[in-house]
Amino acid sequence: MTDTDITRAAIVTGSSRGIGAAVARALAESGMNVALNCSSERSLAETEALARELAAAHGIRALVAVANVASAEEAQQMADTALEAFGRIDVLVNNAGITRDGLAARMSCEDFDAVIDVNLKGSFHCAKAVMRPMMKQRYGRIINMSSVSGVYGNAGQVNYAASKAGVIGMTKTLAKELARKNITVNTIAPGFIDTAMTAALSDEQREAAAARIGMGRLGAPEDIADLARFLASEEAGYITGQTICVDGGLTL
């Protein structure tokens, strides 16, 4: 069997909506089986609806795993479920993330820890859960979601920025550890993307944000998904340890 005969399989965490859903669509469009993830029963119905949509539209297999990635045990169970269903795991997209914004002087330790637990430790838990299957098949693509906040910092997001900066450091280290096994590890750092997280902004805040962006507009989830699809592909096999900002020129 050649690589072209293999049906690749992916796990996309936090894929009920927004960037995660767009990434799952992009990978399904490219012919991959996809395991979708939500953290609780509250998002289960819309995640299951997306799974049905992708399976019907693209002739792939799609499943849903409810797992809080902050739990190493639940992350492992999710990976085991995908491996049992698909027979392999080729791609992991660590997209699940939360915010608990506030100025550092007022931030509770609980809010700091919660963001680190999901965004940073959750990414590690999921990566660790898929490493051995990827090493055994000598092929893998791990794509971590950071943020421009993790590259440049952002007032009011000390926990979020710390978690996303940690993701970048983790990416570089895993890339070095896994390269000889033909596993690439890269990071996408989105800027202002039009998702539920930015929907809470007022019109004035959105206009101010757009004014700071070279292209004069917020990005779309598909802008991130297009890059994720490429990094998950055969063609990206010599790219590893990189952090790519997708921000319309915000950080220039």
- What are the boundaries of each domain within the chain? 3-245
pLDDT above 70: percentage of residues in the chain: 98
Residue 1 is predicted with a pLDDT of 46
More reliable by pLDDT, 212 or 5: 212
Per-residue pLDDT averaged across 220-240, rounded? Answer: 98
- The CA-to-CA distance between both ends of the chain, in Å, stands at 46
Residues labelled catalytic: 160
> pTM here?
0.95
Fold of the 3-245 domain: Rossmann fold (3.40.50)
pLDDT over 70 (residue 3): no
pLDDT in tens, 102-159: 999 999 999 999 999 999 999 999 999 999 999 999 999 999 999 999 999 999 999 9
pLDDT over 60 (residue 252): yes
pLDDT in tens, 161-198: 999 999 999 999 999 999 999 999 999 999 999 987 77
C-alpha to C-alpha distances, 54 to 65, 148, 169, 193, nearest whole angstrom: 15, 30, 33, 23
More reliable by pLDDT, 46 or 197: 46
pLDDT over 70 (residue 4): no
Main-chain phi, psi angles of 95, to 5 degrees: -105, -20
